[in-house]
Amino acid sequence: MQRFHFWKKLILIGLAAAILPTCPAAAAEPSFSFKMDRQSASAGDIVSLHVAVSPAAEVAGFRLRVAFDSSVLQFAGVSPEARIEPGTMQTNEEADPVCSVYVCNVDRGFAPALSGTILTYRFLVRGGAKGATELCACVDETCDFSGKDMRLDAFQTNALNLVLPAADAGTSLKALEPSEGVLQPSFSPEILAYRLDVGAAVDSVFFRTEAADGARVSVSRKTLLAPGSRTPVTVTVTSADGKTKVVYTVMVVRAQKNAGGSASAAQSSGKNKKAEQALAAARNGTGSTGTVGGGTASAAAVLQQNPAPLTVVQDRMPVFLTGMLAAGFCIVTGILLSVWFRQKKK
């Protein structure tokens, strides 16, 4: 009898060992994450904040805000990856914090899967700051194609150490004059960061520089990015002995072309016009209700102060998303009915 029970137990153990490996592991829940490309930076450096989704998730819409100290960092633009289709995201670059709203291309009839790095926000380190600063990123209002809240909210504070060399007589510029526009603020050897606004027709900017005897000056670029974009230009001054460098930065802001211009027409090509109209609300959807710079509020606190341009209440779709999805459904239904009636006539 004891031998029978022994073999019985042995068989049960063998069956359990054979069955357990075949049981699928619990699938990981999708989530948003944020990662800086560096932990320290100097004046003139471009700092990137990467936004990723892992594992893949069919997110139809979300809002993403990034708060930062504007006296230390200057927003230099956002670059969507291929997973974010053209015309599906709008960014209010003048908002504080910077706010982006994404709504998938509803004409496809479904939300494409987002995975890996989907967005990269770039910031230019201004001159004259030292110590440490932070970038706070927050994603919320996530919903699927039916409008259901996906509850993928995420918040993260990213620290950045500032290592900013001080300019001296041997590495200071004596003059910095652009071929187009006027520097803001006016040039001063002690000021290392500037803004330059130019017209949409300006596709390149040259800088006349003057430095101390023996110092070498190099300008990173002269050509500009497309109309409506920002191009960071760095002017590096190297001392005669090659041991010291100081970087001046100029953020060149190129105006957008008029609605009737060729650039606007090309930009609208292939985009979902209904999505563009709905997403235009994001342009004025966030006001500056707090100041990050000057110590009046932390970056994290500012994220909690701004109104939402996109709202999902419980499982309800935002009004403009509902209209967009309804329009897409009507279009698809009309096409299907047209094909069906043609086949029926034949």
User: pTM for this structure?
Assistant: 0.56
| pLDDT tens figures, 74-94 | 898 899 998 899 889 999 887
Report the distance separating Cα 41 and Cα 316, nearest Å.
Answer: 43
Looking at the fold, whether 128 and 63 belong to one and the same domain comes out as yes
Question: Which amino acid is located at 63 in the chain?
Answer: R
Looking at the fold, whether 145 and 183 belong to one and the same domain comes out as no
3 versus 232: the higher-pLDDT residue is 232
Report the distance separating Cα 173 and Cα 163, nearest Å.
Answer: 20
Q: Are 121 and 339 in contact (CB under 8 A)?
A: no
Please report which confidence band the pLDDT of residue 337 belongs to, taking 50, 70 and 90 as the band edges.
low
Please report which confidence band the pLDDT of residue 132 belongs to, taking 50, 70 and 90 as the band edges.
confident
Judge whether 261 lies within some domain. Answer: no
DSSP 8-state symbol, 167: P
Report the distance separating Cα 310 and Cα 321, nearest Å.
Answer: 9
Number of compact structural domains in the chain: 2
Please report which confidence band the pLDDT of residue 245 belongs to, taking 50, 70 and 90 as the band edges.
confident
pLDDT at residue 25 greater than cutoff 60 = no
Report the distance separating Cα 96 and Cα 311, nearest Å.
Answer: 19
The domain in which residue 240 lies consists of 173-254
Looking at the fold, whether 316 and 223 belong to one and the same domain comes out as no
Percent of the chain with pLDDT over 70: 64
pLDDT at res. 290: 30
For the segment 171-183, the average pLDDT, to the nearest whole number, is: 90
- Residues whose CB falls within 8 Å of the CB of residue 172, separated by 6 or more in sequence, listed in order: 189, 190, 211, 212, 237, 246
For residue 199, give the CATH number of its domain: 2.60.40.2340
Q: Are 178 and 345 in contact (CB under 8 A)?
A: no
For residue 299, give the CATH number of its domain: 2.60.40.680
